[in-house]
C-alpha cells in the first residue's frame, strides 16, 4: 500500500526460560502523515512491543520478528542496525511515560536536545544549541535561554516531559511514537501536554502513534483507534466509529470502565472482570473468550474453537453478528 507506515502480519515472539511468548500475533495497520493512531489496550496487549519493534529496539538474541514494517518505502524488519540507528531520533522519535528514561542526569537539558540535532543534521555546536533553546521555547518552557543550561533534576515533572518532547521533535521526525506520555502527570499538566502535542503535530505534520490504556485520552488525541488484546488487534476504526458503535466486547468493557462525566452518581467504573491471559499459552479460539460474557449469543463452542478474523478497515474481531452487536451494545452497554 501507499501508506506512510504500513505494518503487515507482524509477529513478535520472545524466547524466555519458560518458552516462547507470542507478544504480537499477526498485526496489520496503516498510518499516514499528519494522522494520529491511538493504540489502546491493557498492559501486555502488545501495544508497547509493537512500537519497540518499529524502532528496532528488541534484543535480536531473544526476539523473533516476522512480517513487514514499511516506513516511507523502507523495510524495517530486515534493516541493518546501522540503518535503524539512522532512523531513530531523526525520522522516528519516541516519547515515554517517564522522561528520566530518555534524559540523562549528567548533561544539561540543552545539550541533550542539541546533540541529536548535531548528529542527524551536521549542524554546528552553536547552531544546535540555538535550536535546542528554540525547541524549549516551542514546548512552553519559560525563559528557555537560561533553562537550557539546567540539568533534568532542576526541572519539574511536567517540564521534563516537555523537554523530552523537545528532544523527540528537534529533528522534525516524520513519525512520533508516544507511549503513555502523560500517565504520570496530574490532570492539568496532562491536558497542557496533550494540547502541546496537537499543536506540534499541526506545525510539523508528523504521523503519531499514541499508546495508552485511557480511551478518554484517545478520544481527545487520535483520528483512528486500534484496540489490542493479548497481542492482537481486536477492533479498529475512526475515533467516532469506535466510540459511537464499538464492535467488540472488549471495547465495550473499556468504554464501560471510562469515568462518565454525565453521570449523576459521579464516576462509575465497571472494569472488565478477569485478567489478560498469559501469552506463553494463549487461549484457543478467540483470545478474549475466558473473559467474555457473550459467548452464549454466538452459540456452540465457536468462541473457544475458532479465532475470529479482524476485517480489513473498519470492524471488530468477534463472531457476534452485526445485528447482535448492535442490540447488545444499545441494550446492555450504552445506557448504564
Ligand atoms: Fe466474545 Fe466470542 Fe466475540 Fe470473542 S468471538 S469477543 S468470545 S463473543
Ligand atoms: Mg506499555
Q: What is the pLDDT of residues 148-191, one digit of tens each?
A: 999 999 999 889 989 999 999 899 899 999 988 887 777 887 88
> What's the pLDDT at 264?
47
> What's the pLDDT at 270?
63
Q: Is the CB of 227 under 6 A from ligand 1?
A: no
Substitution site in 286, 299, 316, 327 for ligand 1 pocket (most atoms within 8 Å of beta carbon): 286
Residue 254 lies in a domain: yes
Query: 125-138 vs 109-121: helix axis angle to the nearest 10?
Result: 120
Is the pLDDT reported for residue 22 higher than 60? Answer: yes
Residue 323 lies in a domain: yes
Residue 32 lies in a domain: no
> What's the pLDDT at 322?
93
Q: Quick one: which of 27, 20, 15, 92 has its CA closest to 66?
A: 27
Q: How far is Cα 91 from Cα 73, in angstroms, rounded to an integer?
A: 13
CA distances from 300 to 234, 282, 294 (A): 21, 20, 12
> What's the pLDDT at 216?
84
Is the pLDDT reported for residue 269 higher than 80? Answer: no
Is the pLDDT reported for residue 205 higher than 60? Answer: yes
Q: Quick one: which of 155, 50, 140 has its CA closest to 100?
A: 155
Residue 306 lies in a domain: yes
C-alpha 235 – ligand 1 centre gap (Å): 12
Substitution site in 227, 228, 234, 249 for ligand 1 pocket (most atoms within 8 Å of beta carbon): 249
Say which range, 104-108, 255-259, 309-313, has the weakest mean pLDDT.
255-259
Residue 310 lies in a domain: yes
Residue 233 lies in a domain: no
| Higher-scoring residue by pLDDT: 72, 2 | 72
C-alpha 328 – ligand 1 centre gap (Å): 12
C-alpha 274 – ligand 2 centre gap (Å): 19
C-alpha 75 – ligand 2 centre gap (Å): 24
Is the pLDDT reported for residue 267 higher than 50? Answer: no
> What's the pLDDT at 1?
53
The share of the chain scoring above pLDDT 70, in percent, equals 95
Q: E strands within 182-272?
A: 207-212, 224-229, 232-238
Q: Is the CB of 289 under 6 A from ligand 1?
A: yes
Q: 178 and 209 in contact (C-beta within 8 Å)?
A: yes
Rounded mean pLDDT, 39-57: 88
Mean pLDDT of the chain, nearest integer: 89
Is the pLDDT reported for residue 260 higher than 90? Answer: no
Q: Which is the closest atom of ligand 1 to the Cα of 308?
A: 5
C-alpha 105 – ligand 2 centre gap (Å): 23
Residue 278 lies in a domain: yes
Is the pLDDT reported for residue 118 higher than 90? Answer: yes
What total number of domains does the chain contain?
1
Eight-class DSSP state of 88: B
Is the pLDDT reported for residue 202 higher than 50? Answer: yes
Q: 325 and 318 in contact (C-beta within 8 Å)?
A: yes
Q: Is the CB of 247 under 6 A from ligand 1?
A: no
Q: Is the CB of 286 under 6 A from ligand 1?
A: yes
Ligand nearest to the CA of 47: 2
Q: How far is Cα 276 from Cα 256, in angstroms, rounded to an integer?
A: 17
C-alpha 218 – ligand 2 centre gap (Å): 15
C-alpha 210 – ligand 1 centre gap (Å): 26
User: For the complex shown, is ipTM > 0.90?
Assistant: yes
Is the pLDDT reported for residue 335 higher than 60? Answer: no
Task: List the domain range (segments joined by +) for residue 286.
Answer: 246-333
Is the pLDDT reported for residue 333 higher than 90? Answer: no
Q: 296 and 304 in contact (C-beta within 8 Å)?
A: no
Is the pLDDT reported for residue 266 higher than 70? Answer: no
Write down how long the chain is: 336
Q: Is the CB of 292 under 6 A from ligand 1?
A: yes
Instruction: Determine the Cα angle at 210 with ends 209 and 211, to 5°.
Output: 115
The residue assigned the cell 452487536 is 325
The residue assigned the cell 506545525 is 203
C-alpha 31 – ligand 1 centre gap (Å): 27
Q: Is the CB of 249 under 6 A from ligand 1?
A: yes
Residue 92 lies in a domain: no
Nearest-CA residue for ligand 1 atom 3 is 318
Amino acid at each position: 500500500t501507499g501508506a506512510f507506515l504500513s505494518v503487515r502480519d507482524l509477529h513478535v515472539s520472545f524466547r524466555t526460560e519458560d518458552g516462547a511468548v507470542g507478544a504480537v500475533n499477526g498485526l496489520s495497520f496503516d498510518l499516514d502523515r499528519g494522522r494520529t493512531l491511538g493504540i489502546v489496550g491493557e498492559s501486555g496487549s502488545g501495544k508497547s512491543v509493537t512500537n519497540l519493534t518499529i524502532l528496532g529496539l528488541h534484543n535480536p538474541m531473544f526476539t523473533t520478528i516476522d512480517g513487514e514494517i514499511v516506513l516511507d518505502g523502507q523495510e524495517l524488519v530486515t534493516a541493518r542496525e546501522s540503518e535503524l540507528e539512522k532512523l531513530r531520533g531523526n525520522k522516528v522519535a519516541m516519547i515515554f511515560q517517564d522522561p528520566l528514561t530518555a534524559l540523562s542526569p549528567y548533561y544539561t537539558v540543552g545539550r541533550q536536545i542539541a546533540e541529536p540535532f548535531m548528529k542527524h543534521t551536521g549542524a554546528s555546536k552553536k547552531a544546535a544549541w540555538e535550536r535546542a533553546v528554540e525547541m524549549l521555547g516551542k514546548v512552553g518552557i519559560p525563559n528557555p535561554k537560561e533553562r537550557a543550561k539546567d540539568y533534568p533534576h532542576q526541572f519539574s515533572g511536567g517540564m521534563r516531559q516537555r523537554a523530552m518532547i523537545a528532544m523527540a521533535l528537534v529533528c522534525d521526525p516524520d513519525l512520533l511514537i508516544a507511549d503513555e506520555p502523560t500517565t504520570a502527570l496530574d490532570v492539568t499538566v496532562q491536558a497542557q501536554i496533550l494540547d502541546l502535542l496537537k499543536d506540534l503535530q499541526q506545525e510539523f505534520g508528523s504521523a503519531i502513534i499514541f499508546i495508552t490504556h485511557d480511551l478518554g485520552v484517545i478520544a481527545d488525541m487520535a483520528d483512528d483507534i486500534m484496540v489490542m488484546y493479548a497481542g492482537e488487534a481486536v477492533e479498529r476504526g475512526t475515533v467516532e466509529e469506535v466510540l459511537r458503535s464499538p464492535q467488540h466486547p472488549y471495547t465495550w468493557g473499556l468504554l464501560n470502565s471510562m469515568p462518565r462525566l454525565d453521570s449523576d452518581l459521579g464516576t462509575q467504573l465497571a472494569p472488565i472482570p478477569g485478567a489478560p491471559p498469559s501469552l506463553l499459552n494463549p487461549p484457543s479460539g478467540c483470545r478474549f473468550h475466558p473473559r467474555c460474557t457473550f459467548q452464549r449469543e454466538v452459540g456452540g463452542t465457536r468462541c473457544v474453537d475458532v479465532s475470529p478474523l479482524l476485517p480489513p478497515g473498519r470492524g471488530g474481531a468477534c463472531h457476534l453478528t452485526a445485528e447482535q452487536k448492535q442490540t447488545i451494545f444499545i441494550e446492555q452497554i450504552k445506557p448504564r
